[in-house]
Amino acid sequence: MLWVKSFHIVFVASWFAGLFYLPRIFVNLAMVERESTAERERLLLMATKLHRFTSMLSWPAVLLGIWLWVMLSGVPGFGQGAGSGWLYTKLFIVALAIAYQEACGHRLRRFKAGTEHHGHVWFRWFNEIPVLLLLAAVVLVVVKPF
């Protein structure tokens, strides 16, 4: 079980590293002048590759998390009985992280099509969402507040 937990942590950390950096590329894309096609294309290529890589990292992170959940399903506080509310809240946080990943893909498609209308300030705020998601998930797992 410790191997599964270790790999889960590594893949989650890697996935979130991509979720931290991809919106930062969006900030830069939103600041690129229309005439600067070379810079725009370079940033789009970086964002496309990072989005693809980040999406691939999310799969083992989620699957290893499900594996852990199945292995620990008989342990009190891991899905059954009192004290397991933290787990279902964490699963909701994971669903939000997946939705955020999809939202990044949507924004990237809009940038490629030239239809993205949000400015760099909006993307600076958008960039903070994965920090809050990771913070919430870690606190839930470590503290198990309910």
Number of compact structural domains in the chain:
1
Give the domain range for residue 50: 2-143
Q: Which helix (H) or strand (E) segment is 95 a member of?
A: helix 85-113
Distance CA 122, CA 27 (A): 8
- What does the pLDDT look like over 28-54, one tens digit per residue? 999 999 889 999 999 999 999 999 999
Nearest Cα neighbor of 11 from 92, 78, 67, 88 is 67
Query: Residue 79 has what pLDDT?
Result: 66
Give residue 93's Cα distance to chain centre: 10
Q: Taking the complete model, does pTM exceed 0.85, yes or no?
A: yes
Q: Is the dihedral of CA 65, 66, 70, 75 positive or negative?
A: positive
Q: Are 93 and 133 in contact (CB under 8 A)?
A: yes
- Position 137: which residue type? A
pLDDT digits (tens), the chain, 146 positions: 899 999 999 999 999 999 999 999 999 999 999 889 999 999 999 999 999 999 999 999 999 999 998 888 877 767 666 678 898 899 999 999 999 999 999 999 999 999 999 999 999 999 999 999 999 999 999 999 88
- DSSP calls for 58-87: HHHHHHHHHHHHHHTTTSTTSSSSTT-HHH
